[in-house]
Amino acid sequence: MSNSDWHTPTDFPAGSLSRATLNEQVPENIQALYDGLVTDTQVTDEVIHQHRVGTLAALPAAGNAGRLYIPSDIVPASVLVDDGSDWRGSAAVHDTFNRANSTTLGNADSGHPWTEETGDLEITSNALRVVSSAAASIGTVNPKILLDDAYIVAEINIYTAGTAADIDVGIILRFVDTDNYLLVRYNGSTQQLQIRKVVGGTPTTLVGVGKTAVTSSPQTIRAIMAGGYVRAELLVRGGTGGDPVLTQDYDVLADTRTPFLGATELGVYIGNDVADKIGAFAADIRG
């Protein structure tokens, strides 16, 4: 193309932008694109695409739909998706408590930090238990995934050297605070596997099924939750082939879901008997 083929426009059609205006907008557009791809903000609040890697603690607040976030300190790796109001995705939380004796729980094997919500817990001889004379205790982890409609399979391996009537151990499936949580537990005083809620500080056993307590063999409590449906299982390991020896189902949204909307934490519960120990905790969460 020769120079004579190029003609500089002498005027712009009505409704179009001048070259000066376009030139002014170029850096603004580049910045907006950068903000959408790299940072957590964009002028229009409309993220084109964002894929970030960082620690779980550095996870930004949800609110820009379409963002992806991979917590770098969590194993196995998970991908969280911002739906515009909450983070959703999947996570595997697991802990064998196979570490030095400590009254500070630290991080689970999966990288999720433990929080002692109430009471006093400790790790001793590669197991989790309450500190001597402590009140009933709750420890939680926060995978940062909304649990309202999540599918969860959680297990704890438990054993006791105490009396059957003193066994009081369970899994917390939804935790809002110490006055509001959903629990699956074995209660030795009533010799029942129970699905239980605590709302406004008031505990209510939703359903319970009887089973004579076992102190001579390790046991597994398993909880399965999908929305408002909860299934509890108690397995005695050794001599049963791992088959469930006790199951209980419950499905009332007003009891199992509605009081705990917005919960992102789950964890474990141990009563105040130092003889009760949790040897492992695992939860597969799909939100």
CATH classification at residue 277: 2.60.120.560
Tell me the average pLDDT across 251-275.
94
Residue-level pLDDT at 269: 97
Number of domains in the chain: 2
Q: Which domain holds residue 193?
A: 88-286
Tell me the average pLDDT across 44-61.
76
Tell me the average pLDDT across 40-66.
74
**Is residue 244 very low, low, confident or very high in pLDDT (cuts 50, 70, 90)?**
low
Tell me the average pLDDT across 226-252.
79
In this structure, how many other beta carbons lie within 10 angstroms of the beta carbon of residue 22? Answer: 12
List, edge to edge, every strand of the sheet that includes 168-177: 115-118, 137-141, 265-270, 168-177, 180-187, 192-199, 202-210
- Provide the mean pLDDT of the chain: 85
Residue-level pLDDT at 39: 62
Identify whether residues 147 and 261 lie together within a single domain. yes
Identify whether residues 14 and 25 lie together within a single domain. yes
Q: How far apart are CA 113 and CA 274, in angstroms?
A: 23
Q: Is 24 helix (H, G, I), strand (E, B) or coil?
A: helix
To the nearest 5 percent, what fractions of the chain are helix, strand and coil? 10, 45, 45
Model pTM? Answer: 0.82
Identify whether residues 159 and 233 lie together within a single domain. yes
Identify whether residues 167 and 215 lie together within a single domain. yes
Identify whether residues 194 and 282 lie together within a single domain. yes
Identify whether residues 71 and 128 lie together within a single domain. no
Tell me the average pLDDT across 143-171.
91
Q: Is pLDDT above 70 for 4?
A: no
Residue-level pLDDT at 2: 44
In this structure, how many other beta carbons lie within 10 angstroms of the beta carbon of residue 245? Answer: 14
User: Beta strand 50-54 with 67-71: parallel, antiparallel or unpaired?
Assistant: parallel
**Is residue 286 very low, low, confident or very high in pLDDT (cuts 50, 70, 90)?**
very high
Let me know if residue 140 belongs to a domain: yes
Residue-level pLDDT at 225: 96
Identify whether residues 229 and 123 lie together within a single domain. yes
Q: How far apart are CA 56 and CA 28, in angstroms?
A: 31
Q: What is the pLDDT of residues 101-113, one digit of tens each?
A: 999 999 999 999 9
Let me know if residue 1 belongs to a domain: no
Q: Is pLDDT above 80 for 11?
A: no
Let me know if residue 5 belongs to a domain: no
Tell me the average pLDDT across 26-34.
69
